[in-house]
Amino acid sequence: MTKLNSKTITLEQLAKVIDHSLLRPELTEKDVIAGCDLAKKYHVASVCVKPADVQLAVSQLKGTDVAVGTVLSFPHGNSVTAIKVAEAKQALADGATELDMVINIGAMRSGKYDYVRDEIKAICDVARGRALVKVIFENAYLTDEEKVIACKLSEEAGADFVKTSTGFAPSGATLADVRLMRASVSEKVQVKCAGGVRTLDALFEMIDAGVTRSGATTTAAMLDEFKQRKG
């Protein structure tokens, strides 16, 4: 895993930090297509679309360097494990290569750690060799101790990323949370931030704190500003 730094990062590297988010419930097919066109233009890492939009995004991004990701049990994480697994299988069948799953937040807060770990592992087992798995904690609802435990459970279960938030909770990514999460997993596991990272400087701060992916809706504005600064 290459250590990124805001002082030395290139445009190409910065673009590959971004998962362009297309998750708002009111988005139309036309909006999704426009979002995929933007993702192609800027060569971002991926688009993150609603499950029902995976096939559309795959068709729009075929033959490009942009991956198609989707979400499982989003945004609340309350589906039973079998439903999350079914969602994962459907997403893979539809062509997704990245899966952002929300943990069962209530189970996590109840101390049902075996349940949380086993559920993450069930998704990782389905995705192995086919898709990256990013585990969303929704840190707005967790204590620091619970965030650390969730990091450990995610790594034990085989997750590729731990992720701060859905972007649909009362608060999103914070630098303190990113630093805590980065310190709580090994180098095998990467950190993704999401929720409230809307400016280039905010993204730089997150990168310097240890993220290698960030959800974003202001993708074009951030990358255009980067190009302007570099002259």
Query: Catalytic: which of 100, 121, 147, 160?
Result: 100
* Helix axes 81-94 and 54-61, enclosed angle (nearest 10): 30
Active site residue 41: no
Annotation marks residue 230 as catalytic: no
Tell me whether residue 45 is exposed, middle or buried, using C-beta atoms within 10 angstroms of its C-beta: 0 to 12, 13 to 18, 19 or more: buried
Helix ranges restricted to H, 49-174: 54-61, 81-94, 105-109, 113-127, 144-157
List the catalytic residue out of 84, 134, 147, 163.
163
Contact yes or no for 75/166 (Cβ under 8 A): yes
C-alpha to C-alpha distance for 63 and 81, rounded to whole angstroms: 33
Q: Is 192 a catalytic residue?
A: yes
State whether residue 15 is helix, strand or coil: helix
Beta bridge partners of 68: 47
Measured in residues, the chain has a length of 231
Give the DSSP H or E segment for 31.
helix 29-42
Active site (catalytic) residues: 100, 163, 192
